């Protein structure tokens, strides 16, 4: 599986985006440890704060099917540079991405960067912070 293929899957997923309020389509595609691809799009709501981003849709689809180990995830939007996941998505990704998970941030012009959760959310809150409870 190459980055380009995962990016193409994410672009394809963005076609299902439900974005009547922002008109900003985002797609995500992730590859699990067993080489399955799960895709997601952003899904907005008239109560704006209930919007679910594309990355979280893809992660929740995978986890709800029993796939909790993400090898790589691509996120694509129509941005000037590579898209920037929101803080909520970074925290959710931190739960299921290892230090070596490739997080590919891209746009529709073909720009992309490959990064990691530690770069995106250094010092993220995790299970180890709950160990005194």
Please say which residue, 7 or 92, places its beta carbon nearer to Zn ion: 92
**Using rule CB under 6 A, residue 9 touches ligand DUR:** no
Site pattern 31..50 for ligand DUR (x: CB under 6 A): -----------x-x------
Assess whether 65 carries a catalytic annotation: no
Please say which residue, 32 or 42, places its beta carbon nearer to ligand DUR: 42
In sequence order, the 6+-apart residues with CB closer than 8 A to the CB of 1 are 31, 35, 72
| Known binding-site residue numbers for Zn(2+) | 53, 86, 89
Do 109 and 83 form a contact (C-beta atoms < 8 A)? Answer: no
**Using rule CB under 6 A, residue 83 touches ligand DUR:** yes
- Smallest separation, CB 15 to Zn ion (Å): 19
Please say which residue, 119 or 129, places its beta carbon nearer to ligand DUR: 119
**Using rule CB under 6 A, residue 86 touches ligand DUR:** yes
Site pattern 53..92 for Zn ion (x: CB under 5 A): x--------------------------------x--x---
Do 42 and 57 form a contact (C-beta atoms < 8 A)? Answer: yes
Do 96 and 56 form a contact (C-beta atoms < 8 A)? Answer: no
* 12's tokens: 């394809």
In sequence order, the 6+-apart residues with CB closer than 8 A to the CB of 11 are 27, 76, 108
Do 76 and 106 form a contact (C-beta atoms < 8 A)? Answer: yes
Catalytic residue positions?
55
């Amino acid at each position: 599986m190459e980055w380009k293929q995962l990016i193409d899957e994410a672009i394809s997923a963005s076609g299902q985006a439900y974005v009547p309020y922002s008109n900003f389509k985002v797609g995500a595609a992730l590859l699990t440890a067993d080489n399955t691809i799960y895709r997601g799009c952003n899904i907005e709501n008239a109560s704006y704060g209930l919007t679910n981003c594309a990355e979280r849709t893809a992660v929740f689809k995978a986890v709800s099917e029993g796939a909790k180990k993400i090898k790589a995830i691509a996120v694509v939007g129509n941005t000037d540079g590579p898209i920037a996941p929101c803080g909520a998505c970074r925290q959710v990704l931190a739960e299921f991405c290892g230090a070596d998970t490739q997080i590919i941030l891209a746009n529709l012009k073909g720009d992309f960067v490959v990064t990691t959760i530690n770069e995106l959310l250094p010092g993220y809150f995790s299970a180890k912070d709950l160990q005194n409870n």
